[in-house]
Structure 1
Amino acid sequence: MANLFVAYVLWFFGGAWGLHHFYLGRDRHAFIWWSTWAGCFGLGWVRDLWRLPEYVYAANKDPAVSLQALDEKAKRYPTPPFNVVRFAGEVTVGFLFGILIRICIPDDFVELVIGRILSIIVPPLAVTIGVHLVGNVSPEKVSFKWALYGAYTSVPLLLFDSGNNLVYSSILSAIAVNWKGKNWNRDYLEKRGLCKRIFVLTFCGLIYLSLWSSAIYFNATITTKEGDEVPLREAINNFFTSPAWADTKESFRNLYKYYQEHGWENLYNKIVDSLDPLGETKAYKDLGLHENATEEEIKKSYKKLVKQWHPDKHMKEADPDKKAEAQKRFIEIQEAYETLSSIKKKRARRSKKSRSTSQDHGDHTEL
């Protein structure tokens, strides 16, 4: 038996992912909420605030009673009456799915003949799936065939503008299923196994996430500090051939070797050290020193670099970038020296305290 309080808790904390609908056995509803950012950008989530009691009541009703009530409703309305909210949902989700598929196709591929054909044929199919998904939310069902007919009616318009005219494709598809392809769904009360439900939702979710990943990969750009826009796919490819990636791979290899030699117990401390939480490694690097440098070597390097990068020494530089670099390096050197000084003072105090404790313990033992 579904509990109204539990449903509201899931609605409040997990409503954006459709957890309350999954709890009530409304899997299509749950997937729509998850894939459209809380039900068409939060609107559906807000609407559920007053619809949840009805959903809980429907989930708890005896199947025989529910089917009898559905049959009585079907006698009054041979086909489900037009619902503005459901129609708007069909149009919105259909358009979203269509646009998603369209932006998954790279623009440079669309310039080819085969790419142009795919950009016209495939998005209306995605529109059909979106409209069909919303139209089949219980207790109604719609015909995939009529949703398909309506979506592909707009293909001539897609020849001119495959992006904006997907709106017409989703509207025509929603009109088609509400005009001809809609009926009552008597099978919506059938119980399905939990494992099967989770598997189906996970599978659909992975497909949806892979499509968004492709869309971002092919369309997103990164802006450099010089203002140049670089396509994300080029930036990713460049990263995997960069020194930073080589250093990252080497770090993973070193951690794996360390694990083989010292086991899991000491690996955590090694990872923490690798992350440089105190900024000690960076400080040594900024001062051009190795990690075992003495206090005298640190002071010597600090004095040398401070003289070299002091802003007053670069005041006459014509290039403003060089002035900015000198200022930045000077600050880094100051911070590095302060970091190392602070760390060494703390360690010296800790060492002194440890020796004092050991000495007191030794004196106590002699007594």
Structure 2
Amino acid sequence: MVKSVMVAYALWAVGGLFGLHHFYLGRDSQTLLWILTLGGFGIGWIRDLICIPTYVTEANQDAETKKRKASNMLHPPVNPVRFAGQVCVGVYFGTVALIGLSSLRFFDLIVLPLCVAAGVHLVSTVGQQTSHLPKTLIASLITSPIFYGSTLSPLPISLAASVTATQHRKYKKPPAAGNTQELGGYYEEAWTKMLEILLKDYNEQEKEALKVLSLGGQASLEEITRGYRELAKTWHPDHNPSKDSEAMFVKIHEAYEVLLRRHRPRRFT
């Protein structure tokens, strides 16, 4: 589907800090980056005002055009803005890790460089280019012991990782012919599968609840309530001295709650 500049600008204005326009244009890495950094700390969101036409053009290029572009240039040109972004996001991820994860074992040797490398690599995969994650990670792991225990360590680690990521930059492989599904399609498929799993689980809960209350699949609210009351009265611990009465009473109540969901009106507050 051809992307529209006007739609992209509208999404930028409405939810640009959360990468809504990047989601529309199929820029998955930048969508995630904008969510985690609120539009690249706000600066990237403002810069997108100028860059959106270019993003739309890239999104509308077919796989063959992208393949020719990648073959004409072995490596993408060095982009100072991207490099600065890699360093900043690497430091940001490292600082967040210092605040929340510093109590973990081997934090300075493993956890911190992993977090910094993740931030650097996320920026390096924005748009049509990517980098070599293992080498970026190795650079972080090698640099981290040098600044062991320092609160300023995220900066040199991020610099080392960013230099490595820049040295190994390359174009992403274009999707093969017949497999040009966009980001929206991937998300739609993922959400569909998740929804199917949730619905399947919910249906299984309903079946089990109907079985507990000895009801049919088309039971009305009145039938559900009547069946619950009868069984609750029978199995109430005050009326039933058996050792299983309490557990059975709880099971009956939980089954009733499950079946009530289909009849309860939704509330919007």
Flag structure 2 segments of 5+ consecutive residues without an equivalent.
195-259
Aligned residues: 195
Q: Aligned residues: percent identity? A: 32
Whose relative contact order is higher, 1 or 2, with alpha carbons under 8 Å and at least 6 apart?
A: 2
Preserved CA contact (<8 Å) 1:131 1:170: yes
Structure 1 residue 69: Cα displacement: 2.9
Q: What's the CA shift string for 1:25-50, capped at 9, x where partnerless? A: 001111111111111x1110111111
Q: 1:157 to 1:144 in 2, by over 3 A?
A: same
Q: 1:66 to 1:193 in 2, by over 3 A?
A: closer
Equivalent of residue 152 in structure 2, options 146, 155, 164: 164
Q: What's the CA shift string for 1:53-80, capped at 9, x where partnerless? A: 01111111232223223322x1xxx222
Q: What's the CA shift string for 1:6-30, capped at 9, x where partnerless? A: 1000001110000000000001111
DSSP 3-state at the match of 2:106: helix
Equivalent of residue 171 in structure 2, options 184, 192, 214: 184
Q: Which position in structure 2 is the counterpart of 1:50?
A: 50
Q: Which position in structure 2 is the counterpart of 1:99?
A: 95
DSSP 3-state at the match of 2:3: coil
Could you tell me which amino acid in structure 2 is paired with residue 191 of structure 1?
A: Q
Q: How does 1:304-323 map to 2 (within 5 A)?
A: none
Structure 1 residue 194: Cα displacement: 3.4
Comparing 118-127 and 149-158, the one that deviates more? 149-158
Distance 1:183 1:62 in 2: 19
Flag structure 1 segments of 5+ consecutive residues without an equivalent.
204-259, 269-367
Runs of 4+ in structure 1 off by over 6 angstroms are none
Structure 1 residue 147: Cα displacement: 0.6
Q: Kindly report the root-mean-square deviation, in angstroms, between the aligned alpha carbons of the 2 structures.
A: 2.9
Normalising by structure 2, report the TM-score. Answer: 0.65
Structure 1 residue 100: Cα displacement: 1.8
Distance 1:178 1:63 in 2: 24
Q: 1:58 to 1:192 in 2, by over 3 A?
A: closer
**In the alignment, structure 1 residue 174 sits paired with structure 2 residue 147:** no
Q: What's the CA shift string for 1:263-312, capped at 9, x where partnerless? A: 979xx9xxxxxxxxxxxxxxxxxxxxxxxxxxxxxxxxxxxxxxxxxxxx
Q: Which has the larger radius of gyration?
A: 1
Say which structure is richer in helix: 1
Q: Which position in structure 2 is the counterpart of 1:61?
A: 61
Structure 1 residue 2: Cα displacement: 0.6
Q: 1:69 to 1:193 in 2, by over 3 A?
A: closer
Structure 1 residue 149: Cα displacement: 1.9
Normalising by structure 1, report the TM-score. Answer: 0.48
**In the alignment, structure 1 residue 81 sits paired with structure 2 residue 77:** yes
Could you tell me which amino acid in structure 1 is paired with residue 153 of structure 2?
A: N
Q: How does 1:119-268 map to 2 (within 5 A)?
A: 119-161=108-150, 163-179=151-167, 181-187=168-174, 190-192=180-182, 194=184, 196-197=186-187, 199=190
